Amino acid sequence: MTRWSIRPTRWPVWLALCVAAALVVGLVWHPDDPALPRAAPAPPAGLHFLGPVPVMRSAGEDRTARRRQLAEQVQLTQHTYCSYLQHTRYPHTSRPAAQHPDQLYPNQPVRESNPMRVDGGDSDSGVLVQTAQSRVYLAAGETVEFSLRAVDARGAAVPLVVTRALAQGMGATGSRFAPRVTLAFLQDDGDHWRATFAPRAGALAGFHGTIRSEVRFSAAGRTGVVLFDVIHSPELPAIWAGAPLEAIGPDALEFTLPLDVRLAGRYVVSGRIDDALGHPLALASFNELLGLGMHAVVLRVHGKLLHDADPAPSLPLVLRDVEGYLLREDTEPDRLLLARREGPVLVSRTLSLAGVPAHAWQSEERSRYLAEYAKDRAAARERLLAFDPAARLPPAGCSGPALVQ
Amino acid sequence: MKHRRIPYALYIFCTLCLLLASTVAGATNYTLWINGRSGGGTPGNYSDFRYWGPAATPAGINKQAVNWDGRSSIASQSGRVRDALDCFCTGQNWCYIAAYSAGDLLLGYTLANYGGSARAVTNASANANGVCAASGGVQTGWNLKWVRVAAGAAGGSELANAGAWTTSEPLVQDLKTSTARAMYNHNDTRNVWFYRYAGARGTAYSFLLPGQDDEVVAYHSSGGVAGNAGRSLCNPGDWLCDDLRLGTAPNQGGSVKWSWHSVVFRDDGERFNHYGDGNWAGIIGVMRDAMVDTAN
């Protein structure tokens, strides 16, 4: 028997040792324990977490830099925890309108202004081409309006003439599809040139994907070009079916829109909620897997969001501008659009917030995040104090400028 | 040999004990790096950092390269990001993320569309395709601490508008400014912060890119500015151009950033361009420094 052989009669002893070792490893060792050295080497440089200018210093060699780095980690973890705590009082699917400023009016045209692109790939910075398109994503049966004009550096109109405009489907590999469709641009009473494109009316009716409209024009004695892209859905994956309903749920004011699903999958829907004066109050969203048949798309305005609004919202609320799509996973094109519901969809009958719940959102996800962020914050504070016991920690409470969203 | 007399059950029991211990101790932080256009690293190989630079360079705790091809459409490549998030950011594991250029668009799209979906908790051990096996349990969304973004192209690039890049590339179609901005709700990050790094050492395409740029992306995108593209934003001191302001503050002229997006680095010295040069260079290097400092 060698020295390291194990006698069968002693296996309970080894068993006990194994259990003890396992418990020691499992309960004591944590790879992210802040008390232990970091796995990665000391960073070669320190960046101020929220500061404007990086200051390149060797943190490992400079005690001052190391202290600053630890203080920044305290600041970062405090910010992370507190902002999450404050802003998840409402669920992700029911958010204050102010946090979604570019989602509030989805049917406004997309306007851009760029230097005139001329043949040969160059551009003329003396001429700006202002473009607008009414939509980017186009549901089956919808139209899109394009417009363009040219101005000089002072904003004065520059005469422009559209010479050719063709719309073409872009293939999966970018190769161009035939046939092409000619767009009729006309000059309006001012200096804009406008065209309406209706894929359903031409050879691109069944095309699914990006349709690029290449518009050639002359301005300031040169030939220029602009490109308008729209992503077209040739079919509706589901049909809005029936009148929308309203109810006060356990957490929220709920707007329910019946949907007859023809193609199963993940449906992503959003709607805007204004108060009675037309002020945007909330963005409500829906993102769930739906099977074939009738379903209820529920857009919620979290009760606490209504109660927290300052000033208090004028009632009744109005649900408007609902849009959505079937998201096709890992596929290109990635979506089939629902018919857009422009303008008011439902005027709420709720005229008082008295019966609307006012509690903060709670969920497993929120608890999980807050627990982890709190742990990180505590660890960062411990690290700073261990390095410099005289360090002044920020208040543990969540208030102040770090919460600016 | 006498050690054969050791009861087999003992081995099994000890193994189970160690597995239990590793589970208890298995709360691990990872740092994911999501590349931009052009790609280079092998998709699914989380150790392949060739897109960025030497793999031995520190870049945050337990760094993983979330490689995608850098030319296909955002929608078709989102699965690569979801695979990585499922692998390293579920269960007891949490992630820091560094995204670069079009990787910003890819991550934003993924979070906005799938950030609240049911995800299987995995064992954080990837196969050759970058997929990890389910280890039991399902959770809502992923476990993310925060995101840092260098030269973010979530707002698109005028180079895609102008045809400076080949239009045969699906990603270029997605990077057209109007398309990139309409593709998803950029404010929907599940309340996870995106800290943004904007370079300004651009010269070659300044005639196409409005305001300050890093030669590929203008400040309106790298600074996470909401609304329509084409807005000229610059460093302070340019009287003909509005300032890109730091943090979440509205910019000069009134434009605002997407929610949960904060500019933490603006290249006032015009020192950093878009390109990593395969050596963690340019604006990538600035972000890497911050990742090393804070992703731990």
Domain boundary among A172, A197, A232: A232
CA distance A266 to chain B (A): 9
Q: Is residue B121 part of a domain?
A: yes
pTM beyond cutoff 0.80:
yes
Of B117, B193, B155, B75, which is closest to residue A268 (Cα–Cα)?
B117
Residue A66 lies in a domain: yes
Whether residue A133 lies within 8 A of chain B, CB to CB, comes out as: yes
pLDDT at site A212: 93
Q: How far is CA A94 from the centre of its chain?
A: 13
Domain membership of residue A72 (yes or no) is yes
- Do A213 and A124 lie in one domain? The reply is yes
> In the prediction, which pLDDT does A134 show?
97
My answer on whether A244 and A297 are in the same domain is yes
Q: What is the mean pLDDT of residues A158-187?
A: 84
Do A157 and A228 sit in the same domain of this protein? yes
Please state the three-class secondary structure of chain A as a single string.
Answer: CCCCCCCHHHHHHHHHHHHHHHHHHHHHCCCCCCCCCCCCCCCCCECCCCCCCCECCCCCCCHHHHHHHHHHHHHHHHHHHHHHHHHCCCCCCEEEHHHCHHHCCCCCCEEEEEEEEECCCCEEEEEEEEEEECCCEECCCCCEEEEEEEEECCCCEECEEEEEEEEEEECCCCCECCCCEECCCEECCCCCEEEEECHHHCCCCCCCEEEEEEEEEEECCEEEEEEEEEEECCCCCEEECCCCEEEECCCEEEEEEEEEECCCEEEEEEEEEECCCCCEEEEEEEEEEECCEEEEEEEEEEHHHHHHCCCCCCCCCEEEEEEEEEECCCCCCCEEECCCEEEEEEECCCCCCCCCCCCCCCCHHHHHHHHHHHHHHHHHHHHHHHHCCCCCCCCCCCCCHHHCC
Q: What is the pLDDT of residue B229?
A: 82
Domain span including residue B274: 28-294
Domain count, chain A: 3
Q: Do residues A267 and A324 both lie within one domain? A: yes
Residue B42 distance to chain A (closest CA, Å): 18
Per-window interface: A 372-391 vs B, CB < 8 A? 372-373, 376
- Do residues A376 and A383 make contact, with C-beta atoms less than 8 angstroms apart? no
d(CA B146, CA A68): 20
Cα distance from B149 to chain A (closest Cα, Å)? Answer: 13
Instruction: Find chain A residues with C-beta within 8 A of B12's C-beta.
Output: none
Count how many domains chain B has: 1
Q: Do B208 and A51 touch (CB under 8 A)?
A: no
Query: Do A306 and A260 share a structural domain?
Result: yes
Nearest-by-CA chain B residue for A375: B145
In a domain, A8, yes or no: no
Residue A51: pLDDT band (50, 70, 90) is very low
Task: Find all residues with CB under 8 Å of B24, minimum gap 6, and list them.
Answer: A26, A27
User: A287 contacts in B (CB within 8 Å)?
Assistant: 113, 116-117
Domain extent, residue A173, equals 119-232
Q: Indicate whether A240 and A343 sit together in one domain.
A: yes
Report chain A residues whose CB lies below 8 A from the CB of B172: 174
Residues A318 and A224 in one domain: no
List, for residues A274-332, the tens digit of each pLDDT value: 999 999 999 999 999 999 999 999 999 999 999 999 999 999 999 999 999 999 998 98
Q: Is the ipTM of this complex over 0.85?
A: yes
Q: Could you report the per-residue pLDDT of A19-28, keeping only the tens digit for each?
A: 444 433 333 3
Please tell me whether the peptide bond between A389 and the residue prior to it is cis, using omega within 30 degrees of 0: no
State the pairing for strand pair B132-140/A94-96.
unpaired
pLDDT for position A17: 44
Contacts of B222 (CB under 8 A, 6+ apart): B149, B150, B151, B152, B153, B196, B197, B198, B199, B213, B214, B283
Torsion-angle region of residue A88: left (phi > 0), alpha (psi -120 to 50) or beta? alpha
Interface of A with B in 256-295 (CB under 8 A): 266, 268, 270, 285, 287
Give the mean pLDDT of chain B.
91
pLDDT digits (tens, 9 = 90+) for B218-231: 999 999 999 988 78
Does the residue A107 lie in any domain? no
In a domain, B183, yes or no: yes
Domain boundary among A179, A210, A232: A232
Instruction: Tell whether A123 and A227 lie within a shared domain.
Output: yes
Position A204 in a domain:
yes
Whether residues A84 and A176 fall in one domain: no
Q: Is the pLDDT of residue A385 over 60?
A: yes
A80 in contact with B at a CB cutoff of 8 Å? yes
From A198, A232, A266, the end of a domain falls on A232
Return the residue matching tokens 């607008």: A132
The CATH number of whichever domain residue B72 belongs to comes to: 3.40.50
How distant is the Cα of B76 from the closest Cα of chain A, in angstroms? 4
Residue A68 lies in a domain: yes
Question: How close, in Å, is residue B109 to chain A by CA atoms?
Answer: 11
Do residues A260 and A294 make contact, with C-beta atoms less than 8 angstroms apart?
yes
Interface subset of A 139-198, CB within 8 angstroms of B? 170, 172-175
**Residue B62 included in any domain:** yes
User: What angle separates helix B8-24 from helix A11-28, to the nearest 10 degrees?
Assistant: 10
Answer yes or no: is B42 within a domain: yes
Residues A146, A201, single domain; the answer is yes
